[in-house]
Amino acid sequence: RNEFRDVLLQAHLGTRSAVYPLRNAKIHKRFVKEGKMSIVLAEQKVNLYFSNCPSNKLSTFVKFLSAKGTNPDQTVGARGRLLSDKPKGIQEISPLMLRCLNTGQSLLSQKRALAETSSTTPAKKRKEVTDVAMLGRMLNPIQLTTEQKAVVSAVMAGRNVFFTGSAGTGKSYLLRHLLSSLPPQDTFATATTGVAAAQIGGTTLHAFAGVGTGTATVEQMVERAQRPPWVAQWRRCSVLVVDEVSMLDGRFFQKLERVARLVRRSDRPFGGIKLVLCGDFLQ
């Protein structure tokens, strides 16, 4: 914030950085779950676009702007800013807490006074903020166990990971948390069955690879995988998540690894794709 309590956004653009005041900013957040959003700054004639962002971090950022952007003080006019004797300075905004939501809720719920020339009751103002208790639950950090935190740390470090557990231990829950923490454009969620893929919001592994049933030779599978749009998926993918890997045939997995190397033109294991495998071989 600056000395007038205006929220400022500092954007790092390559080697440069710019600071934009967020007064009267319009936030388009329809595609936040897909890692995309935009902020329109009409006064500065600037549009800021966000893409390929981890959806959970982007969602928290939007909630942060919505709560902190509510200034309880009156907006200082241009004349007041010019004549102000306040020392200029910028300070970082404090972390988002539940009391910030309570403040924003109380301000939005204030009733407008009836004008002297009006004889009718003002129309009810549309509620702009969700219930405070609900927002509080949404802002609480996800509670992970020590083992789950170790899995998250390994995935974020760019390592190949396989984790397992019996039914009901939170494997799918952890997968959804990982998917919301990774860039969506180059992270692909797959599973060996359609039901398992639907639970994590992905597709089957065969549909992602574009190689058919997997009974063909490696050369035939490579030829199929090199057709659009599958070749674009293979080359864009940096993290491949496979749920219910225990139901995957080992020979098909070996063929898929060879296909990945040939399509991506890389001799690294799986063509350089980082694997996150999950399943229970004891089921």
Tens of pLDDT, residue by residue over 201-254, are 899 999 999 998 889 999 999 999 999 989 999 999 999 999 999 999 999 999
Strands (DSSP E) contained in 56-192 are 161-163, 187-191
Q: How many CB atoms lie within 10 A of CB 107?
A: 12
Round to whole Å and give the CA distance between 161 and 182.
14
Q: pTM, whole model, 2 decimals?
A: 0.69
User: In this predicted model, what pLDDT tens digit does every residue of 168-200 receive, in sequence order?
Assistant: 888 989 999 999 999 999 999 999 999 999 989
Residue 79 is predicted with a pLDDT of 74
Angle 185-189-191 from CA coordinates, rounded to 5°: 160
- Residue pair 171/179 in contact (Cβ under 8 Å)? The answer is no
C-beta atoms surrounding 208 within 10 Å: 22
pLDDT tens by residue, 128-162:
444 444 445 545 556 889 999 999 999 999 999 99
Task: Kindly list the distances between the CA atom of residue 224 and the CA atoms of 34, 207, 213, 270, in Å, as whole numbers in the listed order.
Answer: 28, 12, 11, 17
CA distance 81 to 121: 36
| Structure token pair of residue 34 | 């897909």
Going along the chain from its start, the domains and CATH numbers come out as 8-109+128-135 (no CATH), 146-278 (3.40.50.300)
pLDDT at residue number 132: 47
The C-alpha atoms of residue 269 and residue 159 are separated, in whole angstroms, by: 12
